[in-house]
Amino acid sequence: MSNGYAVRAEALEKRYGEKRALDGFDLAVREGAVHGLLGPNGAGKTTAVRILSTLVRLDGGRATVAGLDVERQSREVRARIGLTGQYAAVDEVLTGRQNLEMFGRLFHLGGKRAKRRAVELLDQFDLTDAADKGVGQYSGGMRRRLDLAASMILAPAVLFLDEPTTGLDPRGRGEVWESVRSLVAGGTTVLLTTQYLEEADKLASRITVIDQGRAIADDTPDGLKNTVGGDRIEVVVAERADIARAVKVVARVTDAEPVSDESELRVHAPVTDRVAALTEVARTLQDEGVRVEDIGLRRPSLDDVFLRLTGHRTESTEKATENQRETAV
């Protein structure tokens, strides 16, 4: 490794004809952590991963992985990394055990070592009970865990996960998250690209936001949220006629200028003393006879950060919104 960093990228450039997939991209991933890489489609996430995993040559800049130069020492880099793409690369005809033994042989472990490693990984990823079932019988989450296990055959120092839970249901995503946490606890560094902001929020200790081939933000999840603003108190009233009174109450208690949304009967404003403000607003609204449907404290989400930085929401959030509208119709 290099100065506590498992991955370093400086001014990376990659062009495809006239299009610049990466345009001076910088990245620093600390050892033994999950680092999230977020960005809209076409922002350059997958291109960056392909360069760092030596699958694509860069056109400019410099990158090191596990302290090794990805251009000059690509063979050594490949011996120290694992890569899991968006779709599971396991054979559905073979059993889980046979898949891992096959990958072990492809990595030149030899028959006995490949079998031992398969047993270790089946246990590590909680797949022992399904080891001798055909992968075609596995759930989506089990397939992805097997795929992760296959990428860990050589116990790599750095693991690249390119949208590893695409298409999985919440249970399957949870299974994969637990596996990732287990890997990091064992000392593996993970670079995670994802469209699921909840995934980055739960797993990553630091996040880089990329747009148009450049890093436009880099911080902890909480640090990124704080750039949008601090905690807010939010009140949803029962009647449109009560919005004006709710605005006055919230303004008086918080000493801030509230924002109201008449279509959603919602009033919100920033707060500092969170619990005291919530208690006082709730009490005052009750004293004044304002009927409230909902009241609470809200923190900015990574979706708010993403919207502020890139000008639109992630694809996963947009799809969820479309599904909600279709269901409502």
Q: Give the N- to C-terminal CA distance of the chain in Å, as an integer.
A: 54
Q: What is the per-residue pLDDT across 253-306, written as a single tens digit (0 to 9) for each? A: 999 989 898 888 999 998 888 899 999 999 999 999 999 999 998 887 788 788
Residue 176 falls in which region: left (phi positive, over 0), alpha (psi -120 to 50) or beta = alpha
User: Quick one: pLDDT at residue 326?
Assistant: 40
User: Quick one: pLDDT at residue 315?
Assistant: 55
> Mean pLDDT throughout 301-313?
77
C-alpha dihedral sign at 212, 214, 217, 218 = positive
User: Quick one: pLDDT at residue 328?
Assistant: 37
Q: Which of 22-26, 295-299, 316-320 has the highest mean pLDDT?
A: 22-26
**Cα-based distances in Å from 159 to 23, 80, 166, 254:** 24, 9, 17, 46
Give the strand pairing for 19-30 and 259-261. Answer: unpaired
Q: What is the per-residue pLDDT across 123-156, written as a single tens digit (0 to 9) for each? A: 988 899 999 999 999 998 898 889 888 888 888 8
Q: Alpha helices, DSSP H only, in the chain?
A: 45-52, 74-78, 96-106, 111-124, 140-151, 170-185, 197-203, 221-228, 243-254, 274-287, 302-310, 315-328
Pick among 3.40.50.300, 3.40.190.10, 2.40.50.180, 1.10.540.10: CATH of 5-220: 3.40.50.300
User: Residue for token digits 């990329």?
Assistant: 210
Q: Is residue 51 over pLDDT 60?
A: yes
- Average pLDDT over the chain reads 88
Angle between helices 96-106 and 111-124 (to 10 degrees): 130
What whole-number distance in Å separates Cα of residue 13 and Cα of residue 51? 10
Cβ proximity of 135 and 58 under 8 Å:
no
Q: How confident is the model at residue 5 (pLDDT cuts 50, 70, 90)?
A: very high
User: Quick one: pLDDT at residue 329?
Assistant: 36
> Mean pLDDT throughout 44-59?
94
What whole-number distance in Å separates Cα of residue 242 and Cα of residue 236? 10
User: Quick one: pLDDT at residue 172?
Assistant: 79
Per the structure block, which two tokens stand in for 290?
A: 């304002």
User: Quick one: pLDDT at residue 307?
Assistant: 80
Query: Could you tell me which CATH number the domain at 231-298 has?
Result: 3.30.70.100
Q: How confident is the model at residue 87 (pLDDT cuts 50, 70, 90)?
A: low
User: Quick one: pLDDT at residue 312?
Assistant: 61
Q: Is residue 327 over pLDDT 70?
A: no
Residue 167 falls in which region: left (phi positive, over 0), alpha (psi -120 to 50) or beta = left
What whole-number distance in Å separates Cα of residue 93 and Cα of residue 45? 32
Q: For residue 311, what is the DSSP state? A: S
User: Quick one: pLDDT at residue 304?
Assistant: 79
Q: What is the per-residue pLDDT across 140-196, written as a single tens digit (0 to 9) for each? A: 889 888 988 888 888 889 999 988 887 778 887 888 888 889 889 989 999 999 878
3-state secondary structure of 109: coil
Q: What percent of the chain has pLDDT over 70?
A: 93
Annotated domain spans of the chain: 5-220, 231-298
Cβ proximity of 292 and 235 under 8 Å:
yes
Q: What percent of the chain has pLDDT over 90?
A: 56
What whole-number distance in Å separates Cα of residue 100 and Cα of residue 181? 21
What whole-number distance in Å separates Cα of residue 187 and Cα of residue 141? 23
* 73 sits in which H/E element: none
Q: How confident is the model at residue 325 (pLDDT cuts 50, 70, 90)?
A: very low
Strand partners, 95: 134
Cβ proximity of 269 and 302 under 8 Å:
no
